Amino acid sequence: MSKLLTIRGKSFDWGSRTYIMGVLNVNPDSFSDGGKFATLDAAIAQAIQMVISGVDIIDIGGESTKPGAIPVDERTELERVIPVIERIRQHPEVQHIPISIDTTKSTVARSAIEAGADIVNDVSGGQFDDDMFTTVARLSVPYTMMHMRGTPATMQQLTDYDDVVGEIIAYFEMQIDRAVKAGIERAKIILDPGIGFAKQYQQSIEIIRHLDRFESLDLPLLVGVSRKSFIGKILDQPDPNRRLWGTAAACCAAIAGGADILRVHDVAEMVDVSRVADMMLRNRDSDKVSLHT
């Protein structure tokens, strides 16, 4: 794996520490914070707070991908995300932060990058839009490729696996090959196994227990466990907003398994969690651990 990726002047040195991607949903129907940041002022205030808390990337999404979510059209998605990206790029407190656009649409990806985003985060892994790979290749930006089956409306009916981790790896091998043939630089691909996307809660746990198997793909790994339903199942906690400590435990497990990026809602808390977990787990020689600054 290429050990270093530079995004908006920020160096991502894979393996040196855990990087934190903060979730900024600007749609009204997210599974845990739907509508909370749907206004421009609220979204910018949240972005500022994330930066103060030590976030490394802000992931902006204008369409819910929770189970059963109804897709929105391109125009609606653009109206939600573009003003936020543009305002962040104009705001002195946050204009430096790398931005990821969470979308499955190539047209939204292109417009978001043109507006100032830096990374395309595609939960469909290139399955929903035939133009996504060629668009990302032309934009020459990092691309996060997630594993899922079906659509948000159907994915929880598509959870039959003989070997969930092995089948995700096989999927990635196929999609990485497609992406590279379309012109995406392999060194700019980030993999996300898609915790909770077409996975039952036991399967999500199995993935986290065996994250080390993804090392065979030799690419950085993003893991999104924040407030997910498998944590709610373990804790018997139906309210996603009351899964903070369960999220912290799952983040520690992901770090132990080799996750490079954690996608989280609670940035300040998970920055602390990752700093301590990195010191304990990332490198046994504490003198060589790269601390967050």
Q: Give which of 141, 153, 161 is closest to 100, Cα–Cα.
A: 141
DSSP conformation class of 281: I
Can you tell me the distance from the alpha carbon of 254 to that of 191, in angstroms, rounded to the nearest whole number? 14
CA Rg, the chain, in Å?
Answer: 17
**Which among 243, 263, 275, 282 is annotated as catalytic?**
263
9 phi, psi to nearest 5 deg: 80, 0
**Which among 17, 87, 149, 228 is annotated as catalytic?**
228
Which parts of 16-150 fold into alpha helices (H)? 40-53, 74-90, 106-115, 132-139
The question of whether 263 is a catalytic residue gets the answer: yes
The residue whose two tokens read 């205030």 is 45
The question of whether 149 is a catalytic residue gets the answer: no
Q: Pairing between strand 19-25 and 119-122?
A: unpaired
Can you tell me the distance from the alpha carbon of 181 to that of 133, in angstroms, rounded to the nearest whole number? 9
Q: Annotated active-site positions, please?
A: 228, 263
